[in-house]
Every structure is written in C-alpha cells, then in structure tokens.
C-alpha cells in the first residue's frame, strides 16, 4: 500500500469518531478559525454571487457547512458547494449530516471539476496529507477561475522554537495522541497527525510553493499562538 492510500485508509477508520475528537482536541476553537477563514475569503473575493465553492479534503463536511452559513451571514449568494475527499468513510459521515452540498470521492491532484469553473477552492487541515502536494496546488489553480481564491487552513511547522511553540508541540505530541487514541481507539492515527505537522512546510515555504503554482498571496494570519495558519491566495 502506497503512502497516500495508507493515509486514506487511516481516515476511513477514524471517520465515525472524527468530529467528536476534533471538538475535544481543539476545545472547539477550530470553529472560530473556520468562520474567520470564510468571512475573510468572501471579503477578499469581493463578489456577492458565487457559482461554486470546492472544498478539498472535505472530511466530514464541516467546512462545506461553514461556507453556506457564512455566505448567508455575509450576504453572499452561494449557488453550489461541493466537497471532495478520497476517504469514503469520511464522505459517508458528511452525507448523513444533510448539508446542502454535494460530496464526491476524489483526490487533490485530480479534482472532479472543469478548468476555470470554480470561484473558491478551500482545503482545511488536509494539505499536509496530500502526498503529491505540488500537483495538488497546480490542480487547484487549474479548476479556479481567473481571479478565483484559494483558502488554506493548516498546521504549519514553526521555523523557530519559542516558549509557546514548545507548549504547542508538547500538546500535539503527548496529549493529542493519547486523547485522540482513546476516543477513536486508533492510536496510530493520532500519532501520525502531530508527525505530519513536524514533517510539513513552514509558513514561508508554503507561500513560496503557492507563488510557484501561479498564486498571488492576499492574506496570511496565524491563530491561537500560531497553532493554525490561514492562507488566502488569488489565481493570477
């Protein structure tokens, strides 16, 4: 089994408890990160009529629901939201939520969308799980309309160690695997998650890759002591 298939299989296994684990492990603060990401994206895009939002690595559909809710909050008419994920287990959970969105099986590097057909592409805490990341970023660029927006929420690797980063790392490496493992009965999965952050890019390196993929950086902001980082980029 290759690395990407192994990651997908892992998410299939933890799908039934994924939402509960997320809320517990983030103390619910991830909800505010998602709201801020949606609100800032709509403001930067500047259009009140949005044909299609494509949420990649949509998991259990959380971000799809936020796009719809925050669109209404920002007086933006969102005509269609589609969630894409390679994990059938995650998609099954998403579909049971009865969100007004479509859910399709697919990978970041091969999206089920026509070229230049999407207004906004988003990926929340899934980019570090995309093995062929450069291909994925190029694919995001392909499906976006000219001037379309890419919104990324991710846990990035910190360049320099600080007191707060040490506290973050302790929580991620020691507490998260224990609590996540207890909730999901899958300790391997929740050991993988902090390791995936450690092996991921720094903020600066991800910005560089985005530029190389044909994006112009519009906004970058860290949340909660830089635990999470929001990147908003526009297709040139």
* Residue ranges per structural domain of the chain: 3-8+27-157+201-235
In angstroms, rounded to a whole number, what is the distance separating the alpha carbons of residues 159 and 171? 18
- What is the percent of the chain where pLDDT is above 70? 97
First-to-last CA distance in the chain? 37
Q: Domain 3-8+27-157+201-235 is classified in which CATH homologous superfamily?
A: Vaccinia Virus protein VP39 (3.40.50.150)
Predicted pLDDT at 9: 92
pLDDT at site 178: 83
* Helices and strands in the chain: count of H runs, count of E runs: 10, 9
Mean pLDDT of the region 43-49: 97
| pLDDT at site 1 | 63
* pLDDT tens per residue, range 161-218: 677 667 777 877 788 788 777 878 887 888 887 777 777 788 999 999 999 999 999 9
Q: How many CB atoms lie within 10 A of CB 185?
A: 12
Burial-class residue 59 by CB neighbours within 10 Å (0-12, 13-18, 19+): buried
Question: Given the structure tokens 């450690």, which residue do they identify?
Answer: 198
Alpha-carbon distance of 141 to 59, in angstroms, equals 21
Range with lowest mean pLDDT among 23-32, 49-58, 144-153, 207-216: 23-32
The predicted model gives 38-57 an average pLDDT of: 98
């Amino acid at each position: 089994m290759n690395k990407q298939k192994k990651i997908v299989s892992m998410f299939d296994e933890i799908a039934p408890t994924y939402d509960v684990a997320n809320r517990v492990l983030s103390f619910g603060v991830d909800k505010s990160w998602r709201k801020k990401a949606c609100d800032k994206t709509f403001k930067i895009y500047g259009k009140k009529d949005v044909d299609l939002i494509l949420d990649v690595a949509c998991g259990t559909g959380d971000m799809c629901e936020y796009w719809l809710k925050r669109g209404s909050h920002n007086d933006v008419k969102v005509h269609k939201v589609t969630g894409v994920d390679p994990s059938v287990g995650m998609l099954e959970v998403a579909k049971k939520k009865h969100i007004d969105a479509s859910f399709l099986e697919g990978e970041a590097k091969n999206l089920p969308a026509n070229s230049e057909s999407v207004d906004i592409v988003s990926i929340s805490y899934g980019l570090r799980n995309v093995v062929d990341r450069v291909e994925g970023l190029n694919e995001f660029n392909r499906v976006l309309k000219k001037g379309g927006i890419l919104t990324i929420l991710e846990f990035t690797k910190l360049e320099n160690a600080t007191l707060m980063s040490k506290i973050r790392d302790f929580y991620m490496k020691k507490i998260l695997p224990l609590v996540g493992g207890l909730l999901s009965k899958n300790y391997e999965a929740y050991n993988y998650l902090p390791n995936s952050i450690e092996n991921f890019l720094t903020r600066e390196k991800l910005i560089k890759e985005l530029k190389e993929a044909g994006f112009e950086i519009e906004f970058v902001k860290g949340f909660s002591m830089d635990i999470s980082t929001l990147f908003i980029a526009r297709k040139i």
